[in-house]
């Protein structure tokens, strides 16, 4: 019997940078990941630089204003049974060192359904 693997999406998450009240606080971009993420994209459609965290305590990446980043864990694929992924339950947070901005940040995640 053949198996069919497919990729699907979780609902898009967003954060409004105009709600930033502290330049040192981390703010959740939507809810934690429900499924392990094999492709994760953030689009910063705001006018402020954002620092990215996966633990709400340390900066791990940067997303300049008007830009995006994409993590594609499938590029390191060994097999679907041990493919690396950003774990389910991970909460992506952002910090704006320059304070409040104008515009939204969007987070898109894809996960694998193994059938």
User: Could you list the residue range(s) of the whole structural domain that residue 107 is in?
Assistant: 5-114
- Which pLDDT band holds residue 1 (cuts at 50, 70, 90)? low
Tokens of 20: 């930033």
109, 39, 40, 115: which is closest to 77 by C-alpha?
39
| C-alpha 29: how far from chain center | 8
Q: Which residue has the higher pLDDT, 2 or 99?
A: 99
Whole-model pTM? Answer: 0.88
CATH code, 51: 2.60.120
84, 87, 82: which is closest to 34 by C-alpha?
87
Number of domains into which the chain is organized: 1
């Amino acid at each position: 019997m053949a198996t069919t693997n497919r990729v699907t999406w979780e609902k898009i998450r967003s954060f409004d940078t105009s709600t930033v009240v502290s330049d040192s606080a981390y703010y959740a971009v939507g809810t934690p990941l429900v499924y392990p993420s094999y492709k994760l994209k953030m689009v910063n459609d705001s006018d402020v630089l954002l620092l990215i965290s996966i633990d709400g305590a340390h900066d791990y990446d940067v997303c300049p204003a008007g830009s995006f980043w994409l993590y594609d864990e499938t590029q390191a694929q060994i097999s679907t049974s041990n493919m690396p992924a950003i774990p389910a339950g991970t909460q992506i947070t952002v910090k704006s060192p320059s304070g409040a901005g104008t515009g939204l940040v969007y987070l898109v995640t894809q996960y694998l359904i193994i059938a």
